[in-house]
Structure 1
Amino acid sequence: MYVAVKGGERAIEASWRLLDQARRGDTRVPELCVAQIREQMRLAVARVMAEGSVYDEELAALAIKQAAGDLVEAIFLLRAYRTTLPRFGYTLPVETEQMAVERRISATFKDVPGGQLLGATYDYTQRLLDFALLAEGGNDSDIELSSRPHSPPSVPNEPDSMPRVVTLLDKEGLIEQETPSSEACEPGDLSREPLAFPADRSVRLQNLARGDEGFLLAMGYATQRGYAHSHPFAGEIRFGSVAVEMVLDELGEAVEIGEIELTECQMINQFAGSKDAPPAFTQGYGLAFGHAERKAMAMALVDRALRAEELGETLASPTQDIEFMLSHSDNVEASGFVQHLKLPHYVDFQAELELVRRLRAQHERGGLPSGEAA
């Protein structure tokens, strides 16, 4: 994030004190604790974890509290803390087919193996304010739940009970076959290496996974409105917990080190075919920490748009421009670059001011000198 601080030390310290007071608010109102944020603002926690690139619900909730609910600032705080953490190694790829599913829907087939599971969703609510919630809650800020593991809102289905929806198309050869490449075997690590172009799909997906949800949502919406020539179907969206395994050198085998909650989306798109490939459906893919369906769907839409060149499609939209999309999706970088304009630029502006005054004076004397423009 672009940050440059200038100013008097005492003024900055006073600003910090005012910030603490503003964050706390009216002291007659019970203080919101980290445990409450973690348990009752799970969707905000999921976004901060995903875009902060750290799966830790307690730390994400702490960042939200410290940032007074500003999720972009919370993401920045969590990502900055991430840089201080040691790296012990890499886990094995998670097997989302083995997910203990809490929610799973498909917009392409009504009857799918394992059935559809609505779970907890706002999809069928009426979007009306529930004023009964104003009467709920009390002074329970002294309850400490942060040390308690997060418990899912419902009993998930056992793993292996819900195969992927795309396998139905795969049996008929109607969907593209993903063939592993040397790049796919050794994916890049965007958290350790700067973004560089050309970027393979593994790097693009990492970028999108921690990209700003609002930006991806807008770009995904643009693809639906015709700016990427794609007609998407939500093949499958699933949310649940998956096991995380890591190979320990001491044992020489994979050991389960915990579970995380993930949201996965496979978007199915039409594809007219090319000289090298017959007509078939293609895929866009999205994956995010926690319950984050909107983020995973937007990510899948953008992922498919960014595959235009790979699939031999005409590049006619910013949503298909890899460098444009990846360079502007990170809200930490974007926030820093925009907000640095609030910091002192006195010397720069005085130089601009003097230049404009000089040019105006020359203009009044009979026009600008040859080759000079404001």
Structure 2
Amino acid sequence: MYVAVKGGEKAIDNAHAWLAEERRGDLSVAELSVEQIREQLSLAVNRVMAEGSLYDPDLAALAIKQARGDLIEAIFLIRAYRTTLPRFGGTAPVDTEAMACDRRVSATFKDAPGGQVLGPTFDYTHRLLDFKLAADGEVPEGVKAEATQAPTPHIMDFLDREDLIQNEVSGNDVPPDLTRTPLELPAERALRLQSLTRGDEGFILGMAYSTQRGYARNHAFVAELRIGAVPVEMEIPELGFAIEIGEITLTECETVNQFKGSKTEPPQFTRGYGLVFGMTERKAISMALVDRALRWKELGEDNVGAPAQDEEFVLYHSDNIQATGFLEHIKLPHYVDFQSELELIRKLRREAQGLQEAAE
């Protein structure tokens, strides 16, 4: 017979203490510092900042340490902390053309103006375990190129000049802030992009992959992928002009997609766009593919029923914090609910057994 278990404050305190012990691990092994995580696990830090909607490498590294490497838990910590911060105002839109590029590649033009910069990437590694790292050996250093400081024009500008790509009309209205107001559907593109940039990387990747496999008829070329630091400026009312308050590292991806035209648009290329905190290129590319798939209505295309074209499905299920909360709540006490269902099943079984005996 099922019996409801009981717990209390002491059990919770013990669970916290055990968690802290597990987090620290073997005391004979040196403790991992926040600085080590920030500098040596930078890609994990970048993901936590992007999906946590807060650009602070030190706090992201601290969250990773506290979460024992569980990145979704770390993202949860960052989002919770973010809600406690005061808001002083909004910054001006960043100018990614002024980006000091550590990496800048194009799959559409070999001789791109400004040059191709491979940068630090896994693309050309052999994906073999390097046991020198296990032995704490120093890896030989290569020649590190300096980031491109001169303004680097976007590849899309060259297609714009020939009127070969859909013209983007930029609105003057300030888009709604997803971190301050709940998501409402249908969502304008600016709001969709906000949702995608802080959505779960694995989910967005899966949606993007589905478009490449034929769900949404979305064949894309990476017109440009760039990673680097951009200055952040803010208008100071007392001064009457904007001043630079710092810089952040961003990954930007623009894709070129085939478009046969519609009743209102001529045959031309169309765009997909992704912009993410830190060096997060897999996420930025995925975001650009999903962004393009979600634009079917505004481009006058047919909805072929692909998951990546379903705005509600993509946007409501991409947030790993909401998903985690709803998923993990079922492991919390549901004693009353279960007892009522348990009694119902017992009653139905007794009735069924009574009918069976009566028939015999």
Establish whether residue 342 from structure 1 lines up as the match of residue 322 from structure 2. Answer: no
Please tell me whether residue 329 in structure 1 is matched to residue 318 in structure 2: yes
In 2: Cα distance, 1:45 partner to 1:101 partner:
20
Which residue of the partner structure matches residue 345 of structure 2? Answer: 356
SS at match of 1:226: coil
SS of structure 2 residue aligned to 1:260:
strand
Of structures 1 and 2, the one scoring higher in RCO (CA 8 A, sep 6+) is 1
Match of 2:263 in 1: 275
- 1:181 CA displacement: 3.2
1:118-155 per-residue CA deviation (whole Å, 9 max, x = no partner) reads 000000111111111111179xxxxxxxxxxxxxx752
- Match of residue 163 from structure 1: 153
Whole-angstrom distance in 2 between the partners of 1:7 and 1:175: 63
User: How far apart are the structure 2 equivalents of 1:78 and 1:170?
Assistant: 39
Q: In the superposition, relative to structure 1, how do residues 85 and 325 fare at CA in structure 2: closer, same or farther (>3 Å)? A: same
Query: Which one of 192, 197, 204 corresponds to residue 204 of structure 1?
Result: 192
2:207 maps to what in 1? 219
Q: Mapping of 1:205-354 within 5 angstroms?
A: 205-315=193-303, 316-354=305-343
Contact 2:228 2:250 in 1 (8 A): yes
Q: 223-232 or 164-173: which moved more?
A: 164-173
Match of 1:172 in 2: 162
Q: CA deviation at 1:7?
A: 4.3
**Partners of 1:200 and 1:28 in 2: CA distance:** 54
Aligned-partner residue type, residue 258 of structure 1: G
The letter for the 2-side match of 1:134 is A
Take 1:126 and 1:258, find their aligned partners in 2: how far apart are those partners? 37
CA contact (8 A) 2:48 2:75 kept: yes
* Contact 1:45 1:60 (C-alpha < 8 Å) held by counterparts: yes
Tell me which amino acid in the other structure corresponds to 2:114: G
CA distance in 2, matches of 1:15, 1:65: 18
Structure 2 residue aligned with 1:68: 68
2:112–2:155 contact (8 Å) kept in structure 1: yes
Shift of the alpha carbon at 1:353? 1.2
Secondary structure of the residue that 1:365 maps to in structure 2?
A: helix
Matched ranges for 1:102-141 at <5 A: 102-136=102-136
SS in 2 for 1:283: strand
Q: What is the number of residues matched between the two proteins?
A: 345
5+ residue gaps, structure 2, are 1-5, 139-143
Taking the aligned partners of 1:357 and 1:221, their CA distance within structure 2 comes to: 47
CA distance in 2, matches of 1:15, 1:154: 49
Q: Answer whether contact 2:263 2:300 (CA < 8 A) is retained.
A: no
1:148 alignment counterpart: none
| Letter paired with 2:311 | I
Q: Distance in 1 between matches of 2:7 and 2:89?
A: 41
* Whole-angstrom CA distance in 2 between matches of 1:7 and 1:165: 61
Tell me the SS of whatever aligns to 2:245: strand
Structure-1 separation of matches of 2:339 and 2:84:
39
User: Is the contact between residue 101 and residue 159 of structure 1 (CA under 8 Å) also seen in structure 2?
Assistant: no
Q: Which amino acid aligns with 1:354?
A: E
Quote the residue 1:29 is aligned against: 29
Give the whole-Å Cα distance in 1 for the aligned partners of 2:28 and 2:77: 28
Give the Å deviation of 1:313.
1.5
Relative to structure 1, the CA distance from residue 82 to residue 7 in structure 2 (aligned partners, 3 Å threshold; closer, same or farther) is farther
Query: Structure 2 CA distance, aligned partners of 1:354 and 1:233?
Result: 59
User: Matched residues in 1 for 2:162 and 2:313: separation?
Assistant: 36
Equivalent residue letter for 1:338? L
With normalisation by structure 2, the TM-score equals 0.93
Between the aligned partners of 1:210 and 1:319, the Cα distance in structure 2 is 16
CA drift at 1:362: 2.5
The CA deviation string for residues 296-351 of structure 1, in whole angstroms up to 9 with x for no partner, is: 01111111111011111122212101111100100011011111111111111111
Does the aligned pair in 1 maintain the 2:235–2:243 contact within 8 Å? yes
Deviations 1:142-200 (A, max 9, x none): xxxxxxxxxxx75211131x211111211211110001235xx2201001100111110
Q: Which moved more, 1:257-266 or 1:307-316?
A: 307-316
CA distance in 2 between counterparts of 1:23 and 1:342 reads: 22
Distance in 1, matches of 2:167 and 2:220, equals 18
Which AA in structure 2 matches 1:205?
L
Identity %: 62
